[in-house]
Amino acid sequence: MENLVSNTSIAIDILRDDGAFVFHHPPKFIWERDSDSNNEPRNWYKYHFYLHVPFCRKICNFCTFERKQIRKGSIEWFSKLLDSEMNIYLQRDHFQEANIESVYLGGGTASLLGNDVIDHIILRLRQGFGLKKGNIEITLETEPGTKSLSDFEQIRKSGVNRISIGAQAFDDQQLKWLNRSHSVRQTLNTILAAKRAGFKNLHLDIMFGLPGQTMDQWKDTVQRTIELEPTHVSAYPLIVFPDELLDRSLKRNSLPSRPTSEKINAMREYVNEQLHGAGLFAYSTAEFARPGFECKYVKSTWDSSDYLGMGPGAYSRNGHILWENSVVHPNYEKKIIAGDKPIGKRHAMSPEDQLRRDIAMGLCLLEVDVNALVQKSGATFGGQFSKNCEELVSLGLISWKDSKICLTKKGIRYATYIMKLFTNR
Ligand SMILES: C[S@@+](CC[C@H](N)C(=O)[O-])C[C@H]1O[C@@H](n2cnc3c(N)ncnc32)[C@H](O)[C@@H]1O
Ligand code: SF4
């Protein structure tokens, strides 16, 4: 791997490009557990709504999102508790001036929810949480093989207007190695069904750097993705989390090894080039969209917006307060039954930490306006921030003009490293 930093004072000697993103700052191990402030009333104005459905038909070996194997009764259990969680928020928080800017039903596997449950959730968001009529983005994350044409027709009537499909790869062998629960045929059928039902805003997830994946296989996945004419593509470099299922299988050699870092970078460049050529432009380090189809919810998770998450393990942000719902299902249930917000961990950011987070995570959207973030946080953009920027400019990883910091092409490859530098980790 390149050693780009030997002549600088940056306290790291090898740049990592393993995509092991900083998902949160400050890190979760310093967040407070069971804080007395969990139930503090909060005011909601402009915000985004996220639902986390923590069940899947099969557990993919690469995934560390909060998810459990679905069992009989799981969805009923979840739907009932969700209804109570919504009641608790309506009782404790203020939604009089609330305005939901996007809704994302994700997980886990949100498409395991019945159409009636999806309809009910959207209705409740309209009745009490500030979801207005009009063209507000409402996404259903859909695992291939979980929704049919008539399902899509029904949920469209309920107000869902965007479908995100986890295609991952157009190669059955690779899907099998990832322990996916669907075939390529099922992916294609699901995409076709969504289109036939009239969905115009279609998002596909694909991944590169998979075990045994060759450049030719990746090229095939990218070309087939383009032929399907999505409005949005997320092309993720596979992250292998230490000691998780995939990592253990790779170490045991029960899966073929992954491409080298250089090959993975060539894969990134290929998808970038091809999607741009097809009219899908990068608006984040991994997201591409036709103009006007950038996902508002995805952007909100990086751009310092407020968002309210419900369901086990869902994250929320309200100003400088961050929290995560309990990931332990019995604890999530217990808190709701007691009439409390089912929060597991919470953190009140200092102005400096807020600025660090908003710059680092904001760079996932390729560009941040430092002045705006300074104003929002109340912190100052002091000596260390400027020093970091100067060094990153000298390494060719960012450009810095007036108050705008932008990742360069090389910077996108090393985004993880840059984020870590800004978050001081
Ligand atoms: C949480 S999943 C939910 C989607 C849905 N359950 C499915 O799998 O079709 C959202 C997306 O995150 C991506 N993802 C999950 N784990 C990842 C990892 N370790 N590395 C890269 N991308 C990952 C996958 O592309 C996946 O489609
Ligand atoms: S189906 Fe989606 S959420 Fe579930 S384990 Fe697989 S990638 Fe993760």
Strand intervals (E) in 306-349: 307-310, 315-318, 321-325, 343-348
What mean pLDDT comes out for the span 108-133?
98
H helices within 41-183, ranges in order?
Answer: 74-92, 115-128, 149-158, 172-177
Burial class (CB in 10 A: 0-12, 13-18, 19+), 83: middle
Ligand in nearest proximity to the CA of 139 = 1
Question: How far does residue 98's CA lie from ligand 2's centre (Å)?
Answer: 31
Structure tokens at 36: 């007395």
Ligand in nearest proximity to the CA of 286 = 1
Atom from ligand 2 closest to the CA of residue 180: 6
Place of tokens 């990746």: 218
Instruction: Name the residue with the closest Cα to ligand 2, atom 3.
Output: 108
pLDDT at 18 over 90: no
What mean pLDDT comes out for the span 368-380?
95
Distance CA 170, CA 146 (A): 17
Question: How far does residue 43's CA lie from ligand 2's centre (Å)?
Answer: 33
Question: How far does residue 36's CA lie from ligand 2's centre (Å)?
Answer: 33
Taking Cα atoms as reference points, which of 340, 335, 337 lies closest to residue 39? 340
Distance CA 337, CA 305 (A): 30
Reported as a single tens digit per residue, the pLDDT across 339-348 is 999 999 999 9
Distance CA 54, CA 74 (A): 9
User: What fold is seen in the domain 1-26+349-425?
Assistant: Arc Repressor Mutant, subunit A (1.10.10)
Q: What average pLDDT does the chain have?
A: 93
416: confidence class by pLDDT, cuts 50, 70, 90: confident
What mean pLDDT comes out for the span 122-134?
97
pLDDT given at position 420: 85
pLDDT at 361 over 80: yes
Spans of all domains in the chain: 1-26+349-425, 38-302
User: What is the distance between the terminal CA atoms of the chain, rounded to a whole angstrom?
Assistant: 21
Distance of CA 302 to the CA centre of its chain: 9
Q: Decide yes or no: CATH 1.10.10.10 for domain 38-302.
A: no
Reported as a single tens digit per residue, the pLDDT across 20-61 is 555 788 988 999 998 999 999 999 999 999 999 999 999 999
Give pTM, 2 decimals: 0.94
